[in-house]
Amino acid sequence: MTDLQNKAKNIIKNNSRGDFTIPCDTLYPFQWNWDSAFCALGIYTYSKERALREIDSLFNGQWENGMIPQIIFHTNNTTYFPGPEIWQSNTNPPSSCISQPPVLATIIWYMITLGLEDKTILNNYFDKLMKYHKWFVENRDPYNKGLLSIIHPWESGRDNSPDWDSAINAIKVDDSIHLERKDNTHIDEKERPTNDDYNRYMQIVYKCKEFNWDNKKIYDEGLFNVCDPGIQFIFIRACKDLYKIAVYLQRTEYYAILEEWIEHYSTNCNKLWNIHVNAYSSLNIKTGELHDCISCASMLYAYANIGGKEQRNAMIKHSKRILHATKYGFPSYDPHQKRFDSKKYWRGPVWCIINFMLSIGFASIKEVELSKKIKTNTSEMIENNGFFEYFDPYEGRGYGGENFSWTAAVYLIFKNELFL
């Protein structure tokens, strides 16, 4: 193990809080859903036992209805807003009341390919994963349209992406909204979502609380309802990997429903194809409008391994065009668009977990050179600039949280050749 790999390992160890890992100190002091899943795979490169405890801690926060929350508040900490006193989940442990991209099934399948064989553990995980995926189908696609919604930008994991601009800007904010932001005390506010963004984020939360977090009512009458291609594609990939787990465990009674989900959500991705930009886009369910540009989530079609020949050819051209425009890929938003900002959170910077998914995605559709380029590019970016939360795609400079857990995890994964 190289010095930098040891540093990555130590970052994750320093961010460990017993059985779970925080993204980084002070800025994100709790357990985040998809952060923790990616961390578990990074941890698996040096400690199988600790990696499984990471997974267990996520499942310990799973709601009775199957949802695994976006944030699990295992401990008390006053450096983050909104905390458990805002969400009031009435769960043990307390949590936020929304979810995040369902990457966990794919992470567990990776672990199986790397030697995780305990059928008792895996059958337990499988049952919980099925419950989680069923929650997505029933609560984020209640009318069986084949399109998974998010009811808050935070559910996408890409909080202030331009993908949400039209939908979020349509929300009127009550004068009663009061912000107690903590993030800007740790990070330059120029790198973070604006106060206007946060006002609207909190307006959505308070409206959902008025509905007592009734997901059907929120879907029908809530302030924000968008089909995110990222969630759609990640869910499809997760279902495919969950099917592999079912086959491995011989859980034959679940083959049909998993095949149905894969077919249904893959077929309906065509509704996300925007002929005006010749790419997959987010879809505002409330208005029926497709977003007019391309984000990194559009590229996760490769991770899901969907699309016809013409669609794939168009997306490959976009990929090469965007990568050619930047020194480090893959930017979170198309750099040729006016809303692109190379330093502002999900409006342009490079995120290593997206690159992880893109790299294995391009490999799965036989775009090997693109896959290798992103993998090599990401490793060099970290080696030259450090383990930051996100990076400027032109300069490579790191922004956001420093000594960031999932960046360290991706580096360990890439350096250990953990690919399917």
Find the catalytic residue in 141, 163, 183, 389: 389
Q: Which pLDDT value is given to residue 419?
A: 57
For the chain (length 420 residues), average pLDDT per consecutive 10? 95 98 94 98 97 98 98 92 95 98 98 96 98 98 98 98 96 84 76 90 96 98 98 98 98 98 98 98 98 96 97 98 96 97 97 97 96 96 98 97 97 81
Q: Which residues contact 412 (CB under 8 A, 6 or more apart)?
A: 5, 8, 9, 12, 42, 45, 46
389 carries an active-site annotation:
yes
Q: Which residues contact 402 (CB under 8 A, 6 or more apart)?
A: 24, 386, 387, 388, 389
CA angle 97, 29, 49 (to 5 degrees): 90
pTM for the full model? 0.97
Per the listing, tokens 């490999």 go with 363
Question: Alpha helices of 45-149 — where are they, by DSSP H?
Answer: 48-60, 84-87, 104-113, 119-140
Q: Which pLDDT value is given to residue 78?
A: 86
- Continuous segment of H or E residues that includes residue 395: none
Q: Which pLDDT value is given to residue 420?
A: 47
Q: Which pLDDT value is given to residue 176?
A: 76
- Continuous segment of H or E residues that includes residue 227: strand 226-227
| Beta bridge pairs of residue 24 | 28
Q: Which domains does the chain have, with CATH numbers?
A: 3-415 (1.50.10.10)
Distances (CA, A) of 22 to 65, 75, 349, 382: 25, 11, 21, 19
Find the catalytic residue in 35, 159, 197, 241: 159
Q: Which pLDDT value is given to residue 293?
A: 87
